[in-house]
A and B are shown apart, each in its own frame.
Chain A
C-alpha cells in the first residue's frame, strides 16, 4: 500500500473512534424519544446530543472514512506511492482540529443547532469554524485525488485510468461541488454573524445554499460503498466485473445528478417557485438510473462469480457465492436495505407525496436506513477488507465480523421500519419529548419501543465492530495478500477520452447548476429576506448591559 498505509489507518481510526460514542448517543436518543424512562432525562441535552450525533456521523465519520479510503485506493489501484503525502497529513490535521473545535463547542451546550444548523438558529462561532475547517481540510484531499489521477494519466498516456481511481476522483469532484454550498453559506452568512460582523442572517438564502450540499453530500457518503460494489465485491466473490464502461457511466451519472437536485429537500419552503421545485424533483428521479445500473451490474457480476464457483440453474449461483466472506454478506444485506430505503426515497423526492412525510419521523428513518444501513454496512466490510492489508495482521475473526454485520442489519431494520411507520402516523422529527398518553400518540407506543430495541442492537454491533478492529490490530503479523481490484469481463484497453476524465462532465454539471440554481439563489439578492437570529448562546442585545 506504499505510503498510504499510515494515512489510511489514521483516517479510519478517527472515523471509528468517533463512530462508537456517536452510536451510544444514538441509542440514548431513541430511548429519550420513547415512552420508556431514560437516564439524563432532559430535552436540552437531547438537542445537544442530536447535534453531536449528526455532526459526528454525517460529517466526521464519513469525511475521514472517504479520505482514508481515497488514499488507499489511489496507492493500490495506481500501483505507486501517493504524490503529496505531506499535504495529505496537513489536511488530516486540519480536519482533526476542526472536528475537535466543533465537538467542544457542542459539548459546551452552546451549539445545539442540529447538524444542519439552519439559520436563524445561531450557535457558537467555534462550531461553525470547526465545521468549516473540517470541510476545508478535506479539499486538500480533493486536490490530491485529482493531482494523482492527472499525474498517472500523464505517465501512462495509453492506458485507461483504473476504474477504482476513476470512481475515487469522481467522489472527490462530487464533494467539491457538494461542499461549495455549505462553504458559501458559512463564509457568506453564518460565520460573519457568529463573529458579530453582521446583525441578521438571510435564512432563505442559507437554506438554499445548504440544499446544494444536503443531497449531494449523501452521495459523497455513498460513493465508497459504490466503489466497493464495483471494484472489491466481484474480486472477493471470485468473479469478474460485468462491465467496466457501465461502472464509469454510473459514477459520471452520480456526479451529474446528485448535485443540482437539492431543492427537493426544500419542497415546503415558500420562497421557491413551483417550477424550480419541479425541475429539481425531475432530475432527482434520474439518480435512480445509476442506482439501478449498479444493482444490475453487481448482480450480474455476482452471477458470474457464482456460476464460476459451480452454481447451477436459475438461482443456484446465489447459494454458491462465498457468503462467509464479510464483503459478500455485506453486499447482500446492503442491497436489501438499499431497495427498501430507495423506495422510501422515491416518496421523499415527489413534490406531492413529500407533503405527507415532510418533517416527520419518516425522514430520519429514511436516511438511517439508506446511509446508516446500506452505506455504513459497506464501510464495515471495506474496513474488514482493508485492515489486514494495512496492518499486515489477519482479521480476528471473520465469524465475529459476520455477527457484527447481521446485528447491524437487523438492528437497522428493527429501528427504522417502526420509525417510518410512526412518521406516516404523523410523528414529527426533531422533537425531544412526546406525550404518549395523548390519544393521537398512544398507537405509536409499541412502535417507539421497538425502535429503541433496534437502537440497542445497533449499539451492540458498533461495540463489536471496534472490538474486532482492535483485536485485529494487536494480533500477530502474517503476510497478507495485496489488495487487488476486480477485473472486468472485458478489461478496458482503450476508453473514449470522456470516460477517462471529467472535463466534459464538469462543464455539463456547471450548466446544470446555472439552470437549476441560478435563479433560486439569485432571487435572494432581490428578496432581502434577512431575519434576526435565534441565539442558542443567549446574549443581550443592549450593549453594555448585564
Chain B
C-alpha cells in the first residue's frame, strides 16, 4: 500500500505531519493566552502585541523566514542562548521548520480563539465568581468549555496552515531531504526537475487529501461541541 509513494516522498509527508503537529500543540497554550489577553484585558502595548501577532500574516513569508534566521539562527540573539543553555537548535533542523510553521500559523489560531472568547457572555463568568470560583477556576470551568469550538477550529486551521507553510520554512531551514524537506518543499523541488511533474502531482493529491480531512474533522468537532454547549 505504501509503494505508490517513494520512501523519500513518504519522508516528506511524515515530516510535514510531525512538524505541523508539534507547531500546533506547542503554540496552543500561547494562542489561548494571547487571545484571552487581546479579548478581555486592557494593558499598555495591547495594539503592539496585536500587530506583532498578525505581522506574519501580512509580511512576505521570506521576510519572516529571514527574521527567524536572524533571531533563532545559531548566532542569533535567541538562538545562541537556546543552543548554549538547552542544546536546542532550530537552524536547518526539523525543529526550525516547526518554529517557522508555528509563527506563520499563530495569527490564524489567535483570531479564531479570540472571536470565541469575545462571544462568551462575561456575565456568566461574573455569575461563576459569585458562586465562589476564583479567576483561574472560572476560566477552566466556564470560559474554556464555552470557547472549545473556537479553540478546535483555531487548532485545525493552524494545523492546515502549518502543513502548507513554505516560504518562511525554506528561508529559515532550507530544503534538506529527511531533515527539513516538508511536503510543499518536496513539491517545489520536484517541479524544478525536468519530468518531475507526475511525481509532484501525487504529492499534490496527498496535500489536498490531508487539508480536506483536517477541514472535515474540524467541522464535525465544532458541530459536536457547539451542540453540547448550546444548553439544549
Binding partners A and B: no
